[in-house]
Amino acid sequence: MELEAVTEAVEARRDELTDLARDIWEHPQTAFEETYAADRLIGVLAERGFDVEVGVGDVETGFVARYGEGDPVVGTMGEFDALPGLSQRAGGTREPIEEGGNGHGCGHNLFGVGSLGAVLAVADAIDAGVEGSVVYVGTPAEEAGSGKTYMARAGAFDDVDAVVSWHPGWYNAPTKGSCLAVDSYEVTVRGESSHAAASPEAGRSALDGLQLLNTAVEYMREHVPDPVRLHYVITRGGDAANVVPPEATGEYLVRAPSRDLVEEVSDWFENATAGAALMADVDVEVTQTSGIYGVRPNETLGDAIRSTMAELGSFSVDDPIADELKASLGDVSDQIAELPEEYRDRAAENAYFTEPIDALDAGETGSYSTDSGDVSQLVPLGRMTTATWPAGTPPHSWQAVAASGSTGTEGMLYAAKTIGGTLLRLLTDEELRAEAVAEFEERGGADYESPMPDDADPYELLGVERPDFEPSVDVERTPAGTADDD
């Protein structure tokens, strides 16, 4: 009866949740500037009776909403940031709403609202007599800025027994794999300008220093373990070919399957910056702009999610936009080949593939990175994806934007039911909670040290002006660098 109650609670709010997801989709804002989405989500939570704290981790749009009293405490997360340059109408052809504008190419408008639907359903169950508390952690800036890192450091997850989260995608399955930890750097090199032909000896080229560093990175690639990935781009190299560049800037990423290996390679990278500066006789400034862990899997929670999906079954999407979007993708046979063979024909024939399946990544380390990794180092984290986009749709595509503003809401509601049902089971099943915690501790426990320096300011590092954000409802503001740990 637990899942039936959650399903009824989500369906009772179907129109409200669908309208909210599309409203946030129509107001896409990027990392740390998501004031519209945060305000809408906070408003719904506060109206329902959640205690909401805003500004958690010194992040203006980061918030923690709590309902119920005492233990156990279960929670979920909501992302709501958009991507730059992905503006797109909700239709089956490429048509930006605003050239160069923002768009929800990763479906975070659905992410935030789907998780909202789950905690509202669990709050109903608590009112009906279920013991414990449910927490919604609003986590901005996943696409750039790693907002969860700052919120985790501030204690936003410290008293939560287990978290169940999700991400939009094109099939319904738990996620049991890990991903790459990462450090990000901005390197600024400063030299001395001069006329490149008349007096080159008077100059010291900042661009030379940066190119020498890039050469060092190329040589590093030969001697790091195969899973390590090093990326770079020159963001500023000079203004005119006949002027020795006095300043040059590059961005660098170091990725690896473990935090320890990332830090080992990062130390080598920082030594390389010093060597490049010596060779070019220039000054170098290295700023770490982000740092996150890989995800620590929790297969116990993955199995609980899969069980919930099996009980829910599949769903249908009946909208001509879905067929148009599927047709616009062209050949997606490589993506569909990821599925077990028995599902491939149905996935290829239908716009949406909505049958629940087992995890496709158990025991694997994906080539992506997410700041959910930091959360997974602090608390057992169950993850999942649902079919919010036509089969084979890649994230960060215009098709993902279009579906996230139209047909994707069915998958969002399915996520709300799955998360809500799994959270409610965690509240009422002491043995399941114990098994999830035991696996978490077996895989390392809460031995977490934030990868970012204590004085790191996410707004300064990302080059974003701190927004003047005051929610339109009366909620508590959290002092900088703290979180509720009642």
Nearest to 407 by CA among 315, 314, 337: 315
In terms of Cβ atoms closer than 10 Å to its own Cβ (0-12, 13-18, 19+), residue 226 is: exposed
Q: Residues 235-251: pLDDT tens digits? A: 999 999 999 999 999 99
Q: Look at residue 45 in the predicted model and tell me its pLDDT.
A: 98
Q: In sequence order, which residues have a C-beta less than 8 Å from that of residue 364 and are 6 or more positions away?
A: 177, 178
Return the DSSP state at 71: S
Residue with tokens 């996410």: 458
Q: Catalogue all structural domains in the chain, each as residue range(s) with its CATH number.
A: 2-178+294-477 (3.40.630.10), 181-292 (3.30.70.360)
Give the C-alpha separation, 1 to 129, whole Å: 14
Q: In sequence order, which residues have a C-beta less than 8 Å from that of residue 439 and are 6 or more positions away?
A: 298, 299, 300, 380
What backbone phi and psi angles, to 5 degrees, belong to 200? -60, -30
Q: Look at residue 459 in the predicted model and tell me its pLDDT.
A: 96
Distances (CA, A) of 53 to 97, 135, 376: 34, 11, 22
With a cut of 70, list the residues of the chain below it in pLDDT.
Answer: 1, 479-486
What backbone phi and psi angles, to 5 degrees, belong to 287? -120, 125
Give the C-alpha separation, 106 to 354, whole Å: 18
Give the C-alpha separation, 247 to 401, whole Å: 37
Quick count: other Cβ atoms within 10 Å of Cβ 14?
A: 14
Q: Look at residue 486 in the predicted model and tell me its pLDDT.
A: 41
Nearest to 362 by CA among 203, 114, 208, 173: 173
In terms of Cβ atoms closer than 10 Å to its own Cβ (0-12, 13-18, 19+), residue 447 is: exposed
Give the C-alpha separation, 429 to 381, whole Å: 16
Beta bridge partners of 233: 251
Q: In sequence order, which residues have a C-beta less than 8 Å from that of residue 159 and are 6 or more positions away?
A: 73, 485, 486
Torsion of CA 255, 261, 262, 263, to 10 degrees: -170
Q: In sequence order, which residues have a C-beta less than 8 Å from that of residue 247 and are 6 or more positions away?
A: 188, 189, 190, 191, 206, 236
Give the C-alpha separation, 50 to 56, whole Å: 16
Q: Look at residue 304 in the predicted model and tell me its pLDDT.
A: 98
Quick count: other Cβ atoms within 10 Å of Cβ 443?
A: 15
Q: Look at residue 478 in the predicted model and tell me its pLDDT.
A: 78
The distance of Cα 447 from the centroid of its chain, to the nearest Å, equals 22
- Which tokens in the block code for residue 410? 């069915």
Quick one: which H or E segment has residue 432? helix 430-442
Asked whether the beta carbons of 184 and 289 are under 8 A apart, the reply is yes
- Which tokens in the block code for residue 381? 């984290």
HEC string of 246-296 equals: CEEEEEEEEEECCHHHHHHHHHHHHHHHHHHHHHHCCEEEEEEEEEECCCC
Quick count: other Cβ atoms within 10 Å of Cβ 481?
A: 14
Q: Look at residue 479 in the predicted model and tell me its pLDDT.
A: 67
Residue with tokens 């989709």: 25
H-type helices in 83-199, by residue range?
Answer: 108-127, 147-153
